[in-house]
Amino acid sequence: MKFLVAGLAAAAILSAGDSASQVRKGRLAMGRDLYRENCAVCHDIERDKAHSRKLGPSLNHLFKNDTLPMSHAKPSRQYVEVRIKFGGSLMPAFAKRLTPDEISALLEYIDSK
């Protein structure tokens, strides 16, 4: 009986891990789609800033870089979230176009690159 209970508990843990993995994949896919629809016209994510030919800075390895492309501040999720919501000198604001959950998924996608 103990083995059956332990086996069921282990199966539940593995199943929860699989569910979390599926949720993450779904959020990354959602973030990718949002990036393509809203960001790709101005920002590269596959090329570094030296090879980007887009108007906005490259987002390639954004959170892994020592500084942000234009402000030269330390990369932080909060700073980038504010820029997405309220825009910048040339960047439009997306607070009225994207929900908080969509912005979060977009940040997760950018962070994964």
By percentage, how much of the chain surpasses pLDDT 70?
Answer: 85
CATH of the domain at 10: 2.60.40.420
Q: Which residue reads 């569910």 in tokens?
A: 19
Average pLDDT taken over every residue of the chain: 86
Domain range for 91 is 2-112
Reported as a single tens digit per residue, the pLDDT across 60-108 is 999 999 998 888 889 999 999 999 999 998 999 999 999 999 999 999 9
pTM as predicted? 0.79
Q: How confident is the model at residue 49 (pLDDT cuts 50, 70, 90)?
A: confident
| Nearest-10 Cα torsion for 64, 61, 19, 98 | 110
Q: How many domains does the chain have?
A: 1
Q: Which residue has the higher pLDDT, 66 or 15?
A: 66
User: Do residues 57 and 49 lie in contact, with contact meaning Cβ atoms separated by under 8 Å?
Assistant: yes
Three-state secondary-structure class, residue 113? coil
103 vs 34: CA distance, rounded Å: 9
Would you state the structure tokens that stand for residue 43, as one six-digit string? Answer: 């920002």
Closest CA to 56 of 27, 32, 83: 83
Helix axes 100-112, 2-38, angle to 10 degrees: 90
Check residues 16 and 63 and name the one with the higher pLDDT.
63
Residue 17 — pLDDT band, cuts 50, 70, 90? low
